[in-house]
Amino acid sequence: MPDQIKHDVIIIGGSYAGLSAAMALGRSLKNVLIIDSGLPCNRQTPHSHNFITQDGETPAAIAAKARQQVSAYKTVSFINGLATSAAKTDDGFAVTTQDGQAFESRKLVIATGVKDLMPPIKGFSDCWGITVVHCPYCHGYELRGLKTAIMSKGDKALHLAGLVSNLTNDVTLLTSTASLTPVQLRKLTARRIRIIETEVSEIVHQSGHVKAVVFADGSQEKFDAIYAAVPFEQHSEIPVALGCELTETGHIKVDATQKTTVEGVYACGDNSSTMRSVASAVYAGNLAGTAINRELTEERF
Ligand SMILES: Cc1cc2nc3c(=O)[nH]c(=O)nc-3n(C[C@H](O)[C@H](O)[C@H](O)COP(=O)(O)OP(=O)(O)OC[C@H]3O[C@@H](n4cnc5c(N)ncnc54)[C@H](O)[C@@H]3O)c2cc1C
């Protein structure tokens, strides 16, 4: 049995995407419960960039302000915790949390983000989000002009090399040439981008600030910054357990209104988009919130 009254919407994940959905719904007097486990993907990064009005703020400050503003809407409530399962009921969804609480809602928003999978390279995870970064738009300006390495393969490596070469003239690709086509290799050579094929075994750093890369053959080279494309997995198994389809890239499949392939379930933010930024997560959450409000209205009106 649920512990509380049935909510219009349960939002699993209360970071930028989830809070944005909650604001749109709260402003329409919808009864919303946000369940959040408090582990946003950017928590180790000292400053967040490229989100207008909040450029250079800490990720936690942006989230705290968002939460404070969303809390002003009295029909929105929060619990800190991990949603561990969700199931379809006759007229909505039942969600349970790790500590055994149970809640019901008519609609569900999955705003759970993704989990970045750190490679087993000593020092890598300590530098993640500080000077080992995923995105030139988020951190490239601060790392401009530095001696920079890129750890990636194939098309993604070429894409990153192009973007990063706008920001610094000293770019080295740490990759296997086998992942690149002859045309790609010619482009890199023409732009004086070096390639090192030897496997990386360690990133030497001081409090997350890269000092050097150590290679498997024992050699090392000084670098100041690294861009890395790392694999990810869904943070939560709930969408797949509910039957939500994933895309080829591993994102939750959504339509133009953030609706998943399961009726009544919406997804927003990193879990359903290749556009990985605070601004995109906020946009997608806002879209999901308004789409759900419309759906709830049409069911009633
Ligand atoms: C290192 C790093 C640095 C970045 N820097 C920038 C930057 O400078 N500028 C920028 O625009 N973007 C940046 N990004 C991207 C940006 O952080 C993400 O696009 C954004 O956080 C996505 O928001 P989200 O709400 O989808 O997911 P997240 O912010 O990752 O939040 C997901 C939330 O869901 C919760 N959750 C997950 N599963 C459950 C569950 N089962 N139950 C309850 N809660 C759950 C998590 O605890 C978390 O609070 C960065 C990303 C990384 C990894």
Q: Element (H or E) spanning 241, and its range? A: helix 238-242
Any idea what DSSP says for residue 186?
Answer: H
Ligand 1 pocket, 269 CB below 6 A? Answer: yes
Q: How many CA atoms lie within 13 A of 296 on its CB side?
A: 22
- pLDDT truncated to tens, each residue of the chain (301 aa)? 444 568 999 999 999 999 999 999 999 999 999 999 999 999 999 999 999 999 999 999 999 999 999 999 999 999 999 999 999 999 999 999 999 999 999 999 999 999 999 999 999 999 999 999 999 999 999 999 999 999 999 999 999 999 999 999 999 999 988 999 999 999 999 999 999 999 999 999 999 999 999 999 999 999 999 999 999 999 999 999 999 999 999 999 999 999 999 999 999 999 999 999 999 999 999 999 999 999 999 998 8
Q: Please tell me the distance from the alpha carbon of residue 175 to that of residue 155, in angstroms, as a whole number.
A: 12
Q: Please tell me the distance from the alpha carbon of residue 127 to that of residue 121, in angstroms, as a whole number.
A: 11
Ligand 1 pocket, 130 CB below 6 A? Answer: no
> Which residue has the CA at smallest separation from atom 19 of ligand 1?
277
> Which residue has the CA at smallest separation from atom 28 of ligand 1?
40
Ligand 1 pocket, 230 CB below 6 A? Answer: no
Ligand 1 pocket, 138 CB below 6 A? Answer: yes
Return the pLDDT at 177.
87
Between the CA of 89 and the centroid of ligand 1 the distance, in Å, is: 29
Nearest to 9 by CA among 292, 251, 239, 282: 292
Other residues' Cβ atoms within 10 Å of the Cβ of residue 55: 11
pLDDT tens per residue across span 213-251 = 999 999 999 999 999 999 999 999 999 999 999 999 999
Between the CA of 104 and the centroid of ligand 1 the distance, in Å, is: 25
Ligand 1 pocket, 208 CB below 6 A? Answer: no
Any idea what DSSP says for residue 132?
Answer: E
Any idea what DSSP says for residue 246?
Answer: B
Ligand 1 pocket, 15 CB below 6 A? Answer: yes
Q: Probe ligand 1: pick from 78, 112, 125, 242, max atoms within 8 Å of CB?
A: 112
Between the CA of 40 and the centroid of ligand 1 the distance, in Å, is: 4
Between the CA of 15 and the centroid of ligand 1 the distance, in Å, is: 6
Ligand 1 pocket, 48 CB below 6 A? Answer: yes
